[in-house]
Amino acid sequence: MTAVQIATLAAVAFGGTAVVLARDPARQALVTSVYGLTLAILFLAFQAPDVALSQIVVGAVALPAMIIYALRKIIRREEVDREDR
C-alpha cells in the first residue's frame, strides 16, 4: 500500500466522522459534499477511475443538492403550517 492510499484512507475516515459529528442537517449536506470528494480521490488512488468519475458528480453535487431540496421543503412546510394557525 502506498503513502497516497494510506493518506486518502485516513482522509475518508476523518470525513465520515465529520459528517456524523455535524449535527445540523444543512451543514451535514455540505460536509457530505467534501466527504464525497475525498471518496472520489480514494477510488482514484485504488485505481478505479471509472467509479471516481461518477463519485465526483453524484457524491459531491447530486446527493448534497437532493438533501438541501428536501430540507428546504420540510422547513417551508412548517412555515405554511404556522401561517395557517
Shortest separation between residue 75's beta carbon and another protein, angstroms: 10
Single-letter residue type at 40: A
Q: Which x/- pattern, by CB under 8 A, does the window 30-59 give for another protein?
A: ----------------xx-xx--xx--xx-
Q: Is 76 in the site for another protein (CB under 8 A)?
A: yes
DSSP, res 1? -
Buried b (16+ CB within 10 A) or exposed e, 53-70: eebbeebbeebbeebeee
Residue type, 53: L
Binding site for another protein (CB under 8 A): 1, 5, 46-47, 49-50, 53-54, 57-58, 61-62, 65-66, 69-70, 72-73, 76-77, 79-81, 84
